[in-house]
Amino acid sequence: MASQQYKQWSVVTASTTAFTVCFMVWMMFAVIGIPIKKTLGLNETEFGLLAAMPVLTGSLIRVPLGMLTDRYGGRIVFFVLMLSIVVPIWLLSAATAYWHYLVLGLFVGCAGGSFAVGIAYCARWFERERQGLAMGIFGVGNVGAAVTKFVAPSIVVAFGWQMVPQVYAVALLVMAILFWMLTYTDPDHSGTTKSVTIREQLAVLKDPKVWKYCQYYSIVFGGYVALSLWMTKYYITEYGFDIRLAALLAAAFSLPGGLLRAIGGWMSDKWGAHPVTWWVMLFSWGCLFFLSYPQTELTIKTVKGDLTFGLGLNVWMFTVLMFAMGVAWAVGKASVFKYISDHYTANIGTVSGVVGMVGGLGGFLLPIMFGALVDLTGVNSSIFMLLWGITMVSLIWMYWTEIVPARNSRGAIAPGAASQRA
């Protein structure tokens, strides 16, 4: 008979691995979208829609999946979800028209909904003071975005892009079987809200704190997804690299953005959700300020003739800033969900689904907006100007709803205290 501790870590390990594979599938168009764009002659906006289409369903489905997890338990929901998307992934290899990719992308995108299932499934296996760590470890599955950038370009070069969805379909099928074999169903974790109606579950939508956490997550996760989809193409168009080198450099952002999420969970357990999230937003705001600056040439008229200076980030400074921001967002993704585990223990699946949905919708809308901005302005770095503005909104919202009330009531903010306020 397996011990409770063994079951806890077996569930977390299997769930994290399964989420990694699902995230690889979810981010697949970041790589295969580039040869598809070339073949179909798509513009930037059409490419943005293609890359973001899986993110749409992966976001919208998180609320119902979170509710199902609260009602029936995470194990069965996660398993059925993985099995249901194997065939659509395989069919991508046979698609030929733009609308084929858009429609199949909607089905493939359901892989992104696995987050709402796994985060609640893992959290319920741990006591409250360790839930931040458990959810942070599960969130490491975001590293699937980086794994796709390492694996998929090599498959594209060696066998053609059509082989990528075939390999991923087989990988997900194998993962679903292993997940079922290595995880457990605890009666205490399933059916926890069978007496709760859907209306009562959706009552969280009236809570202003939920929408505030949605705003935070729209940048640390929505921005992460959007840039994971966009960065390979950004390196190609801005710096002229081929797809393999571009994907490798893009992984410098995606890899820490997933791998270090567990550290964010530990930090949130130790210092509280509010201070960690505040510093993440402030640091991101600074990084985005420098990333926003376009490549510029300044010419100064002097008595000896024109003196021209080039201003802008070279590829190494750009990559360092992206890496630093990926680290910050990894921590922020965990700290936002620490807010949720602190305040919504009974319906964590539903609230996680709502916050995850809005964050994911950010990942859907942002690539389309990126493409439209680049088509409109012709400036690649305009995408970071947009993200800088969204981060500013989060900082202002957090300041007025958490910092100011805490100062008024106590004169200072104790670690984690402000997170108790709306």
Q: Note the pLDDT of residue 86.
A: 95
DSSP structural state of residue 295: P
CA distance 344 to 120: 11
CA distance 422 to 331: 21
Q: What is the pLDDT of residues 90-99, one digit of tens each?
A: 999 999 899 9
Q: What is the pLDDT of residues 65-90, one digit of tens each?
A: 888 887 788 899 999 999 999 999 99
Q: What is the pLDDT of residues 234-255, one digit of tens each?
A: 999 888 888 889 888 888 888 8
CA torsion through residues 30, 36, 38, 44, sign = negative
Tokens 């959700």: give the residue.
273
pLDDT band at 411 (very low <50, low <70, confident <90, very high): low
Domains held by the chain: number: 1
Q: Note the pLDDT of residue 289.
A: 94
Q: Which domain holds residue 21?
A: 4-420
CA 173 to chain centroid: 23
pLDDT band at 51 (very low <50, low <70, confident <90, very high): confident
CA distance 325 to 255: 11
What's the average model confidence in pLDDT over 42-61?
86
Whether residue 193 is predicted with pLDDT greater than 50 in this model: the reply is no
Whether residue 112 is predicted with pLDDT greater than 50 in this model: the reply is yes
Tokens 């007496």: give the residue.
195
pLDDT band at 414 (very low <50, low <70, confident <90, very high): very low
8 A C-beta contact, residue 163 and residue 152: no
Whether residue 199 is predicted with pLDDT greater than 80 in this model: the reply is no
Whether residue 190 is predicted with pLDDT greater than 80 in this model: the reply is no
Q: Note the pLDDT of residue 201.
A: 59
Q: How many CA atoms lie within 13 A of 110 on its CB side?
A: 20
Amino acid, res. 147: V
What's the average model confidence in pLDDT over 104-113?
91
- Which residue(s) pair with 296 in the sheet? 311
Q: What is the pLDDT of residues 138-186, one digit of tens each?
A: 888 878 878 888 899 889 989 999 999 999 999 999 999 999 999 988 6
Measured CA distances, 55 to 52, 362, 373 (Å): 5, 9, 19
**Token pair for 131:** 């839930």
Tokens 């995230």: give the residue.
23
**Token pair for 312:** 């802008």
**Percent residues over pLDDT 90 in the chain:** 33
Reported pTM: 0.72
Q: What is the pLDDT of residues 327-371, one digit of tens each?
A: 999 899 888 888 887 777 666 767 877 887 888 888 888 988 998
CA torsion through residues 98, 101, 105, 107, sign = positive
Whether residue 394 is predicted with pLDDT greater than 70 in this model: the reply is yes
8 A C-beta contact, residue 140 and residue 254: no
Lowest mean per-residue pLDDT among 57-61, 96-100, 320-324: 57-61
Q: Note the pLDDT of residue 412.
A: 47
Q: Note the pLDDT of residue 120.
A: 82
Q: Note the pLDDT of residue 111.
A: 92
Whether residue 213 is predicted with pLDDT greater than 80 in this model: the reply is yes
What's the average model confidence in pLDDT over 186-206?
60
DSSP structural state of residue 276: H
Nearest by Cα to 75 from 169, 6, 144, 178: 178
Q: Note the pLDDT of residue 265.
A: 78
CB-CB neighbours of 57 under 10 Å: 22
Whether residue 415 is predicted with pLDDT greater than 70 in this model: the reply is no
CA 362 to chain centroid: 9
DSSP structural state of residue 399: I
- Mean pLDDT, rounded, of the chain: 85
CA distance 245 to 411: 51
CA distance 244 to 147: 13
8 A C-beta contact, residue 136 and residue 334: yes
CA distance 29 to 277: 30
Whether residue 133 is predicted with pLDDT greater than 70 in this model: the reply is yes
Taking every pair of Cα atoms in the chain, the longest distance, rounded to a whole number of angstroms, is 87
CA distance 64 to 357: 10
Amino acid, res. 399: Y
pLDDT band at 421 (very low <50, low <70, confident <90, very high): very low
In this structure, what CATH number is given to the domain that contains residue 110?
1.20.1250.20
